[in-house]
Amino acid sequence: MRPFEENFAKMLARQSMKYEELEKLVLDWGKNKGILDSSTPLRQLEKTQEELDETKAAVIKFMQSVDQTLLNGEDEETAIKNALEEVIDGIGDMYVTIILFTALASQLTKTYLNKEIDSVECLQAAYDEIKGRTGKMVNGLFVKDQ
């Protein structure tokens, strides 16, 4: 295994906390930083967009590093490793902003619908909706049957 593959394998093998435990820690962090008291759902979604753009850039950089290595035989291992770390960082940052966005949105649903929401519940609702869906792949995306 090359060093970046070893690091990635180590990361995958790392003893992880459960999603709900991490979600709670992120929410505590957001509370401590004042985000949950003074941000808004829309502002937090803008942060998600920023993190999504960063992640897209990191994925493009990763693919380019892989291409460089495959096409030119150049040793782009460091570039690949750095780009991969940026992708991982971006995925994590997107999750953090979505968890914080959901908590801020929950403040609104609590006020107006007397119901709190959390990210697991939203994910469950999405999965329940897509699980029986049929469709086909078009240009790299799944397109559902009408």
**With binding defined as CB under 5 A, does residue 46 bind Mg ion?**
no
Q: Which span (12-20, 24-32, 91-99, 132-140) binds Mg ion, by CB under 5 A?
A: 91-99
CB of 90 to Mg ion, least distance (A): 6
Measured between alpha carbons, how far is 31 from 100 in angstroms, rounded to an integer? 9
Among residues 39 and 106, whose Cβ is nearest to Mg ion?
39
By C-alpha distance, which of 40, 19, 17, 42 is closest to 30?
40
Among residues 54 and 118, whose Cβ is nearest to Mg ion?
54
**With binding defined as CB under 5 A, does residue 93 bind Mg ion?**
yes
Q: Which span (53-61, 69-77, 100-108, 129-137) binds Mg ion, by CB under 5 A?
A: 53-61
Quick check: 49 and 57 in contact, CB under 8 A?
Answer: no
Tell me whether strands 141-144 and 135-138 are parallel, antiparallel or unpaired. Answer: antiparallel
CB of 143 to Mg ion, least distance (A): 30
C-alpha dist (Å) from residue 67 to 3, 54, 78, 137:
18, 20, 14, 25
List of residues contacting Mg ion (CB under 5 A): 51, 54, 93
